[in-house]
Structure formats: structure tokens, C-alpha cells
Amino acid sequence: MSMKKLIITVKNVPSFRQLCQEDQIQLLKNSAIEIKWIINLRFFDESRKSCLLPNPNLEERNSFIVFDNDYLQQTYGNEIIGRLKNFFNSFRYDWRNDDSILNLLSMMILFYPERSNLINRHYIQQQFQTFSHLLRKYLQVKYSSICEGRSIYLKLLTGIQEIRYLNEQCLEFILKMDMKFVGPLTMELYELKLKKKKLLNS
């Protein structure tokens, strides 16, 4: 799913549409790239230890982009790539191929109530708790065990925390790049012009 399609999908979530425009913008800007991490879990290939991402430039349905390990390590560094691989490996096959789990995690990321500059934080907190509750209940039913369901739920929450860390590291890396190589949507979501200006003035 492209970032543009992701944003369109999020805007059609009923509880998201109930928010004022200011909160919608804040939640989208802060969660869209994190949700993309969740979406990309579906394309993780254990045999290659890499993501096989559908190629948006080709019409063939079975065409994929494969990222070379050497290229990734040279670009992002061993520490980030190591943590990235650990992140993908930490999601079991049955988790990352379960649409209900990934969709509920995505909604929890979207409605994370600790984002800055939120107006209706209480409503957003309620939505986060609702999707959190649905995920816990779903896991208990799926695995026929309250204990196992709770254990998996806590592991998934750890995964969300790791996504936030990886997202921050990617932002730091992007800020070091020449902005002409960064797409306009990424520029807007990360507020790169403003952050780059602050970085240069610091």
C-alpha cells in the first residue's frame, strides 16, 4: 500500500472522521510512517531475512523490490539494520499474516493519545483503549488462552515501542540527507523543512 492510499484509508475510519481537522492532521503526521512499518511486516521473507516490497512502478503482480543487506548497512549503519531485522524477526509468522492483528495494531498507533498538540485527547484515549481491548480479546480467542493472549499482547506492545524508536532513527538519518532526494509527502509527514531549519540554527 502506498503512503497516499494509506492516508485515504485512514481518513475513512469512522472514529477518525469524528475528530476535528487539527487532531486529524496531528495524528496522521505522527502515525502514517509508523503504520507503514506494520504494513511492511506482511512482506517479510524469513528465507532472505528481508522485505519483498511490491514494486509500484511495474504492473506485474509478482514483481517485488528486494533490499540488499550490504546496501542497507552502508546506508543506515549496522545498529539500525540490526534492530530492524530483530524487529521483523520478533513478529511471528502467524502474527504478521493476520490482518486482524495488524489492523488493530495500526489503529492503536493511529490513536496513540500521547501525541503532542492534541485538542480532543480524551476521545483519542478512548479510541486507543477500545482498539487495545479488542486486540486483547481477539488474541485470547485466537489462541484459546487468556495467559497466552496476554503474553502475545505485551510482546506486540513492545513491537510498537520499537517502531517508534526506528522511526526516530530514520528521521535523524533523513535530516542528514540532501532534501532534493526526499519525496514531498515524506517531507510533509516528517515536517522536514521545519526540523531541518531548527537543526541548522542549533
pLDDT at res. 63: 43
* Residue at 182 is within a domain: yes
Q: What is the rounded CA–CA span in Å between residue 63 and residue 50? A: 15
Mean pLDDT value across residues 15-38: 92
Check residue 52 and report its DSSP letter: E
* 143 phi/psi in degrees, rounded to 5: -105, 5
* Residue at 202 is within a domain: no
Domains identified in the chain, total number = 1
Share of the chain above pLDDT 70, in %: 68
* Residue at 22 is within a domain: yes
pLDDT digits (tens, 9 = 90+) for 168-202: 877 777 666 666 656 676 666 666 565 655 655 66
Q: Which amino acid is at 98?
A: D
pTM above 0.85, yes or no: no
* Residue at 129 is within a domain: yes
Q: Look at residue 10 and tell me whether its pLDDT is greater than 70.
A: yes
Q: Look at residue 32 and tell me whether its pLDDT is greater than 90.
A: no
The percent of the chain in helix, strand and coil, each rounded to the nearest 5, is 70, 5, 25
CATH number at residue 38: 1.10.565.10
Q: Which amino acid is at 49?
A: K
Please work out, in degrees rounded to the nearest 5, the angle formed at the alpha carbon of residue 190 by the alpha carbons of 188 and 191: 60
| Count of all residues that appear for the chain in the document | 202
Q: Look at residue 64 and tell me whether its pLDDT is greater than 50.
A: no
* Residue at 74 is within a domain: yes
- In terms of residue numbers, what domain contains 49? 3-197
Q: What is the rounded CA–CA span in Å between residue 157 and residue 114? A: 15
Query: What average pLDDT does the chain have?
Result: 81
Q: Look at residue 54 and tell me whether its pLDDT is greater than 60.
A: no
Q: Which amino acid is at 108?
A: M
Helix (H) or strand (E) holding 198: helix 192-201
* Residue at 192 is within a domain: yes
- Identify the band that residue 149 occupies on the pLDDT scale cut at 50, 70 and 90: very high
* Residue at 89 is within a domain: yes
Residue 53 β-bridge partners = 65
pLDDT at res. 7: 85
* Residue at 132 is within a domain: yes
Which among 14-28, 71-85, 176-190 has the top mean pLDDT? 14-28
Mean pLDDT value across residues 113-121: 94
